[in-house]
Structure 1
Amino acid sequence: MNTEKILHPILYIDDEEDNLTVFNATFRRNYKIHLAISGDKGLEIMKKHDIHLVITDQRMPEMTGIEFLEKIIPLYPDCIRMVLTGFSDVEAIIQAINKGRVYRYITKPWNKDELKIIIDRALDNYDLKQQNKKLVEDLKEANQNLEQKVARRTKQLEEQKIEITDSIHYASRIQSALLPPNEDMDRLLPSYFILNKPRDIVSGDYYWVSHKDNKVIVAVADCTGHGVPGAFMSILGITFLNEIISNAETIIPSEILNELREHLIKSLHQTGREDETRDGMEIALCIVDLVTKKLQYSGAFRPLYLIRDQELKEFKGDNMPIGVYEDIENSFSNKEMHFKEDDIIYLFSDGFVDQLGGPKRKTYRSRKFKQLLLNIHQKPLSEQKEILEKEYEEWKKDIEQIDDIM
Structure 2
Amino acid sequence: MPAQFNASRGSLPRFRQPSAADLCVVATAITSEETNQAVLDVFNDQRELISLPVVENGRPIGLINRNIFMSQMSKPFHRELYGKKSCIAFMDKEPLIAEANLGIESLTFRAVEYGEKALADGFIITRDGQYAGVGHGLQLMRVVADMQAEKNRQIMHSIDYASVIQRATLQVSRAALAETLTDASLVWEPRDVVGGDFYHFARFADGWFAAIADCTGHGVPGAFMTLISSSMLAQAIERNNPRDPAHLMGLVSRGIKQMLGQTAERSELAESNDGLDAAFMWFDNATQTLTFAGARTALYLLYPDAPQIEMIEGDRAGVGYVDSNADHQWTNRVLPLTPNTLLFVTTDGLVDQIGGRKQIAFGKRRIRDAIVARRHQSTTQITDDLLIELANWQVDETRRDDLTCLCVRIGGTQP
Q: TM-score, normalised by structure 2?
A: 0.61
Task: Provide structure 2 residue ranges, at least 5 long, that are not aligned to the other structure.
Answer: 1-102, 110-138, 405-415
Q: Structure 1: 5+ residue runs without aligned partners?
A: 1-140
Verify: 1:292 aligned to 2:283, yes or no. no
Greater RCO, 1 or 2 (C-alpha within 8 Å, sep 6+): 2
Alignment of 1:3-402 (within 5 A): 146=108, 149-181=140-172, 182-249=174-241, 251-272=243-264, 273=267, 276=270, 277-308=272-303, 309-310=305-306, 311-323=308-320, 324-402=322-400
Change in 2 beyond 3 A, CA 1:156/1:287: same
For 1:146 and 1:251, the matched residues in 2 are separated by 60
3-state SS, counterpart of residue 291 of structure 1:
coil
Aligned match of 2:28: none
Aligned mates of 2:226, 2:283 — CA distance in 1: 23
Shift of 1:250: 6.0
Change (3 A) 1:153 1:233: same
Distance 1:300 1:197, change over 3 A: same
Residue 382 of structure 1, CA deviation: 2.1
Q: Which residue of 2 aligns with 1:83?
A: none
Contact kept? 2:281, 2:291, Cα under 8 Å: yes
For 2:383 and 2:241, the matched residues in 1 are separated by 36
In structure 1, C-alpha distance between the alignment counterparts of 2:333 and 2:232, rounded to whole Å: 22
Secondary structure at the aligned position of 1:329 is classed as: coil
Distance in 2 between residues matched to 1:288 and 1:328, nearest whole Å: 27
Q: For 1:306-341, what per-residue CA distance to the aligned partner results, in whole angstroms no more than 9, with x for missing partners?
A: 110233111111010111325442200110021211
The code of the aligned residue for 1:282 comes to: D
Contact 2:209 / 2:242 at 8 angstroms: preserved in 1? Answer: no
Equivalent-residue separation in structure 2 for 1:271 and 1:237 (angstroms): 16
Give 3-state SS (helix, strand or coil) of 1:341's partner: coil
Q: Deviations over 1:10-52 (max 9, x none)?
A: xxxxxxxxxxxxxxxxxxxxxxxxxxxxxxxxxxxxxxxxxxx
Encode CA deviations 1:212-236: one digit per residue, 9 max, x unaligned. Answer: 3422000100000010111111111
Distance 1:240 1:343, change over 3 A: same
Secondary structure of the residue aligned to 2:184 is: coil
Q: Structure 1 residue runs of 4+, over 2 Å off? A: 141-148, 180-183, 271-277, 324-330
Shift of residue 385, structure 1, vs aligned partner: 2.1
After superposition, what is the alpha-carbon deviation per residue over 1:57-109, rounded to whole angstroms, capped at 9, x for unaligned? xxxxxxxxxxxxxxxxxxxxxxxxxxxxxxxxxxxxxxxxxxxxxxxxxxxxx
**1:211/1:376 Cα in 2 relative to 1: closer, same or farther (>3 Å)?**
same
1-structure distance, mates of 2:355, 2:104: 38
- The question of whether the paired residues in 2 share the 8 Å contact of 1:287 and 1:295 is answered with yes
Closer/same/farther in 2, CA of residues 247 and 275 from structure 1, 3 Å limit? closer
2:142 partner letter: A
Q: Is the 8 A contact 1:145 1:153 kept in 2?
A: no
Pair 265,203 (structure 1): closer, same or farther in 2 beyond 3 Å: same
For 1:304 and 1:142, the matched residues in 2 are separated by 55
CA distance in 2: counterparts of 1:303 and 1:297, whole angstroms: 10
Distance 1:326 1:172, change over 3 A: closer
Q: 1:150 and 1:294, CA in 2 relative to 1: closer, same or farther beyond 3 A?
A: same
Offset at 1:249?
A: 4.5
Residues paired across the two proteins, number: 266
Answer yes or no: is the 8 Å Cα contact 2:355–2:362 preserved in 1.
yes
State the distance in 1 between where 2:106 and 2:160 align: 25
Tell me the TM-score normalized by structure 1: 0.62
Partners in 2 of 1:187 and 1:178 — Cα distance?
17
Radius of gyration: which is bigger? Answer: 2
